Amino acid sequence: MLYPTKPAFRFLLLLSIAFVFSCKNTPQKSSETADGNTKKPNILFVISDDQSYPHTSAYGYKAVSTPAFDRVAREGILFNNAFSASPGCSPSRAAILTGKNCWQVREAGTHASTFPADLTTYPEILARAGYLVGSTNKGWGPGKVVGREDNPAGKAYNSRKLESPKEMSDNDYASNFEEFLAARSGDQPFCFWFGAAEPHRRYPTGIGVKTGLKPDQVKVPGFLPDVPEVRTDMLDYIYEIQWYDSHLDRMLKSLAAKGELENTLVVVTSDNGMPFPRAKANCYEYGIHMPLAIMWGNKIKGGRTVDDLVSLIDMAPTFLQAAGVDAPETIGMAGKNLMTILTSDKSGLIDKSRQAVFSSRERHSSSRWNNLGYPQRAMRTADYLYIWNVQPERWPAGDPQKFEDDGKLGPMHGGYHDIDDFDESVLNTRRDDPAISRYFHLAVDKRPEVELYDIKKDPYCLNNLAGESAYRATREKLGNQLMAYLKKTNDPRMSPEGEKTYESYIRYSPIRTFPEPK
């Protein structure tokens, strides 16, 4: 082979060779989707607001009828062990959007603060890849979006309204979805976030019974008293689940009529647990265990039920993998994509590497002196739930008393604002009733630093095993695993400055005033 003898020619040749090799070794954005096709799949992500795991008819809960959720489960996969990254809506949704744990997204990992402009979300990545991105009703929030033109979930389509019962959303979700689809260019793939307002409180009182739902079909969880007031309250909650499910039904039928459903990855879940004491805003099972069903035409085998532990932070990497889009390595998503499960033809346990999922909370409402939060970290395995209450000296549901508008200290038990509408709850109004008192104290009393529950024997998290000698080895093992994961993922709570960091985050929702603890 002849080589140029002049230095300038030799330099140009070496530069050309280097350029060719750099192009071959530089990661490129994939044009193939997860199944090897070049046509990008549509993505429809559906998330209710405050719905716990068992409350769909696909899971066998008799009091509710959810035909749309059931269709997704029947034609796709029903997940028995899906968990949110937080028992509160704002941090849970931030974790879904970023594919990260709540402690990895700074202000967005606590309630009603900000969503930092430098956090990258999966809708942003898909938009850069040519997707039309949009949302209806509740995207990320509550909180203040900074440095973005739209909500992190996507441009809002909320103009279509309808008549609805008092205290329920008047957004015509399905019609807003149609408006979004009309904005597409040709066969442009879409990514749409349907954030239902239901079944968040408040409820139209008695609407469940008025519309024919049956109190005797309600299964009251063991941390609530089985009394008529709780059953009818749960029926109102169930009615709202059915309300939002009817809009999902319209969306699925619309996609089918347009010939788009086969190429649409549909995910249906919730952000956190039911808005009842010891559920929402708590890292107990009914606060973090979520409904989840996924369908994707014939890309995944339907009619399956999966028992693997999955986290909602797995959604972001799953969507990107399905679309054949590489996330920048600098993002550092903690979620693990679900393709191994989706492309399997098996039921039961599929991915043996999924040994645990994690959840957390910081501030939920403004419920304590100086706006202090109630930090928790939790790890869920197939058998156990381990909870670390970082500041056990604080009231988990919020301080019992608050200052009234006149500046005077209000009555005892007039606080507890980490529980939605607790002043009207039968647990509070009848707290001195011997039949109710136990449940009141379960909801509001201070808790030990460590809690450990055998989920298979105690799904309602009533029997704390952390102090029992027979479970000492289990407690130590799980505690060490949790701490190792928190350190690995740079949780600020692993630093002496962690408390200062979290309490420095501004809250943009109304601030209540509580007395300084003695």
Closest CA to 291 of 436, 83, 441, 494: 83
Q: Which of 308, 334, 351 is the last residue of a domain?
A: 351
Same domain for 268 and 136: yes
Percent of the chain whose predicted confidence (pLDDT) is above 90: 89
Give me 498's structure tokens.
């962690």
Which residue segment(s) compose the domain that 335 sits in?
42-351
Residues 320, 390: one domain? no
- Nearest residue to 95 via CA among 152, 155, 34: 152
CA neighbor of 470 nearest in space, from 452, 455, 443: 452
pLDDT band at 34 (very low <50, low <70, confident <90, very high): low
* Overall pTM surpassing 0.95 (yes/no): no
Please state the domain count of the chain. 2
Q: Is residue 483 part of a domain?
A: yes
The DSSP bridge pattern shows strands 450-454 and 384-389 to be antiparallel
- 110 three-class SS: coil
* 16 pLDDT higher than 90: no
Q: Can you give the pLDDT at residue 33?
A: 64
Q: What is the pLDDT of residues 306-353, one digit of tens each?
A: 999 999 999 999 999 999 998 877 789 999 999 999 999 999 999 999
Report which of 91, 195, 219 is spatially closest to residue 143, judged by C-alpha positions: 91
Greater model confidence, 267 or 13: 267
Please write the tens of the pLDDT for every residue from 409-443.
Answer: 999 999 999 999 999 999 999 999 999 999 999 99
CATH number at residue 372: 3.30.1120.10
Angle, helices 67-75/228-257, rounded to nearest 10 degrees: 60
Residue 341 and residue 377 share a domain: no
What's 108's DSSP letter? G
DSSP structure class, residue 271: S
Q: Coil, helix or strand for 16?
A: helix
42-66 residues labelled b (16+ CB within 10 A) or e (exposed)? bbbbbbbbbbbbbbbbbbebebbbb
- Which residue carries 């402690």 as its tokens? 103
Asked if 197 and 105 sit in the same domain, the reply is yes
- 273/291 same-domain check: yes
Q: What is the pLDDT of residue 329?
A: 77
Is the domain of 195 the same as that of 249?
yes
Q: Give residue 98's pLDDT.
A: 98
The DSSP element (H or E) to which 284 belongs, if any, is none
How large a percentage of the chain has pLDDT more than 70? 93
Is the confidence at residue 14, as pLDDT, over 50? no
pLDDT (tens digit per residue) in 95-147: 999 999 999 999 999 999 999 999 999 999 999 999 999 999 999 999 999 99
The percent helix, strand, coil of the chain (3-state, each to 5) is 35, 15, 50
| Per-residue pLDDT reduced to its tens digit, 207-225 | 999 999 999 999 999 999 9
Domain end, chosen from 351, 371, 403, is at: 351
How many angstroms separate the CA atoms of 495 and 234, rounded?
41
C-beta atoms surrounding 201 within 10 Å: 18
Show the 3-state SS of 356-417: CEEEEECCCCCCCHHHCCCCEEEEECCCEEEEEECCCCCCCCCCCCCECCCCCECCCCCCCC
Asked which of 286, 319, 351 is the last residue of a domain, the reply is: 351
What are the pLDDT digits (tens) for 430-482? 999 999 999 999 999 999 999 999 999 999 999 999 999 999 999 999 999 99
**CA–CA separation, 481 and 94 (whole Å):** 24
Predicted local distance difference test score (pLDDT) of residue 328: 79
CATH number of the domain enclosing 298: 3.40.720.10
- Asked if the structure places residue 174 within a domain, the reply is yes
